[in-house]
Chain A
């Protein structure tokens, strides 16, 4: 049960973003910009960064939601599945592997990111902007994961819930739905 009363039809982060809409607004804008805005990384690649960080933080809700979004955007379920076991074995570019490893280090601590891990990403063609966005996406999910679990929000066990949420993240992105979420009641 969540630590504060939250709407029952909005589990995980969704209820928190409705509970506190004023703080939700800049979080939504930042997420939309980083995960869906103009970038040389595809939305699918950026969802992989969100997924690996949420997975390492053991945040069930965020991991399942962003895995669902990444699966849809990449058109397969293997990439996320393999990445969670072993980044090097995932069917992604060398650049992406290096960026996912940087994200993994950010999950541990900002201080854990080494010059070597950055040099590896640059060696495989990562630009400064890609490195910047990777670090900020990873850091942002350290916020989300702690917010979601620190408030003890509900993580549904039904896989269909995340399929639906993944579809919403692909079709609508991270902006608040113009008419709110009453239709989900």
Chain B
């Protein structure tokens, strides 16, 4: 049970919190939409992988699995590859650029202060430009917020990857900005 009384306890993760406080849901959804589906030199699939990876490092099951499912939807991969994110990308083919960016995201997850000039220079040698570096750092930072929001209020999360299939497809192809009254996920 969540730490606070939610209007509908059946809604998992951030969805239950959106229904508790619709005013804050609006900018939170718009931020996710802008970062993951707005303009960027990174594809939405790459950005969802960054979101899913940081959420895994933060041990946030709901955010990890839902964004991993969205990444699989974008990348047209089987849902079984979700677990590969937790296993350090043994199977999912990463470009050297994305590999370097995931390294930066992992540093941001620990602390912004951990990101070094060398980390950024390495990403640049693989073709990352200013905007790519900016978007990577901000997405990683944003998921350090979303993950803490979801777990800090003790929300529940479905366990199985399969439970996130439709959610991920909706996140990938319909997006994050939706009527907060439309609480079905």
Chain A residues with a Cβ under 8 A of chain B: 3-5, 16, 19-20, 22-23, 25-27, 29-30, 33-34, 37, 57-59, 102, 105-106, 109-111, 113, 115, 118, 128-129, 131-133, 135-136, 138-140, 142-152
Contacts and interface: CB of A to CB of B under 8 A. Distances in A.
A57 B35 CA distance: 23
Contact of B133 (A3, A109, A118, A139): A3
A147 B146 contact: no
A33 B27 contact: yes
A25 B31 CA distance: 8
B111 A58 contact: yes
Interface in B42-69: 58-60
B149 A150 contact: no
A19 B151 CA distance: 31
Residue of A4, A23, A59 most packed against chain B (CB within 10 A): A23
Contacts, number: 149
A26 B146 CA distance: 14
B112 A146 contact: yes
Residues of A contacting B: mostly = helix
Interface size band for B: 35 or more
B139 to A, nearest CB: 9
Given A33-B23, A146-B112, A150-B108, A25 B144 contact: no
Contacts of B34: 22-23, 25-26
B167 interface: no
B141 A150 contact: yes
Interface of B: 3-5, 17, 20-21, 23-24, 26-28, 30-31, 34-35, 38-39, 58-60, 104, 107-108, 111-113, 115, 117, 120, 130, 133-134, 137-138, 140-142, 144-154
Nearest to B34: A23
Given A34-B24, A113-B152, A150-B107, 14 more contacts: A3-B115, A3-B120, A22-B34, A23-B138, A26-B31, A30-B24, A37-B23, A57-B111, A109-B58, A110-B148, A131-B3, A133-B21, A143-B144, A147-B138
A150 B112 contact: yes
9 contacts: A23-B35, A25-B34, A29-B26, A113-B3, A133-B21, A138-B148, A143-B144, A145-B141, A149-B115
